[in-house]
Amino acid sequence: MATKENKKEIAVTVKNLHITYRGLKKTSIRASWKNFGNKVELFHALKGVSFEIEEGKILGIIGKNGSGKSTMLRAIAGIFSPDKGSIDLHGRTISLLSIGVGFNKKLTGKENIYLSGMLLGFSEEEIAKKEKEIIEFADIGDFIKKPVKTYSSGMYSKLAFAITAILETDITLIDEVLSVGDVQFKEKSYNKMKELISDEKRTVIIVSHSLGTIKELCDEVLWLNDGEIKMIGKPDDVIPKYEEFMKQL
């Protein structure tokens, strides 16, 4: 019988999660007013998804494009509000590493280090202690002093990864960024990620189309298909079935 001391705590609980996008069909403004309420299109991105992640586990989320993977991460990060259902982080801090999320493009890279850090719940003093390490890891030279809107996607990803990797939170969400950047940075970020997830208290959720990355890094894999869970389990069980499914499309 398991004792209370060795029982794993739950880090993330997702229960009956529904998220629907609403948008207008292409039509004229005049026609929209005449037919108000009749031109709304609904896209059900997530349809009643439920799962739990134990503290210290690494969960990979896979699925074809449009299956709800990035929507799931943004919901867990608090960017999207569920239409129905709930997400419980059990009091833990969380960060989302995703291209195009979290930076004010008018501010410099250095200013965004502080902005991002404070949004993650760190004090200005805590961020200042990590500033040099973040800048060195990002390795984007004088661009750290320039507005983020001047950055290439590679520089953006380097700085985003550096901030999330150095300012460590209890839960880290990663959306495809391990595949962005030059070869040297890919290797550096991959090694840093392996270092981070070696902490038995840190919980990580990774969305990636790289099945090799998912298989090597993750304890469990959640396969989303059209907004619903198709399968969840060990990588060696889920990935072969997913690969077979994709070959049939």
Query: Is residue 117 in a domain?
Result: yes
pLDDT tens track, the chain, 249 positions: 334 445 679 999 999 999 998 765 555 555 555 555 556 688 899 999 999 999 999 999 999 999 999 999 999 999 899 999 999 999 999 988 776 566 899 999 999 999 999 988 899 999 999 999 999 999 999 999 999 999 988 888 889 888 988 988 999 898 876 655 677 887 887 788 778 777 788 899 999 888 998 998 899 999 999 999 999 999 999 999 999 999 998
Q: Spell out the SS3 assignment of 8-56.
A: CCEEEEEEEEEEEEEEECCCCHHHHHHCCCCCEEEEEEEEEEEEEEECC
* Domain extent for 228: 58-81+93-247
Backbone angles phi, psi at 89, to 5 degrees: -95, 5
Which pLDDT belongs to residue 175? 84
Q: What is the pLDDT of residue 29?
A: 53
- The CATH number of the domain holding residue 226 is 3.40.50.300
Tokens of 161: 């990864």
Is residue 18 included in any domain, yes or no?
Answer: no
User: Is 177 a domain residue?
Assistant: yes
Using H for helix, E for strand and C for coil, what is the string for 183-233? HHHHHHHHHHHHHHHCCCCCEEEEECCCHHHHHHHCCEEEEEECCEEEEEE
CA distances from 43 to 47, 153, 188 (A): 10, 28, 38
Q: Which two tokens stand for residue 215?
A: 């298989």
- Report if residue 13 sits inside a domain: no
Domain count, the chain: 1
Contact residues for 98 (Cβ-Cβ < 8 A; gap 6+): 70, 73, 74, 160, 173, 174, 175, 176, 177
pLDDT at 4: 40
| pLDDT value, residue 119 | 85
- Identify the pLDDT of residue 196: 77
Q: Is residue 113 part of a domain?
A: yes
Within a domain: 41: no
pLDDT at residue 240 in the model: 97
Q: Which pair of tokens denotes residue 42?
A: 């609904």
Neighbour order of strands in the sheet with 203-207: 94-98, 171-175, 203-207, 58-62, 220-225, 228-233
**CA dist., res. 219 & res. 210, Å (int):** 15
Q: Is residue 26 part of a domain?
A: no
72 within a domain of the structure (yes/no): yes
CA 211 vs. chain centroid, Å, equals 16
**H helix intervals, 39-198:** 69-76, 109-119, 124-138, 153-166, 183-197
Q: What's the pLDDT at 192?
A: 82
Q: Are 102 and 32 in contact (CB under 8 A)?
A: no
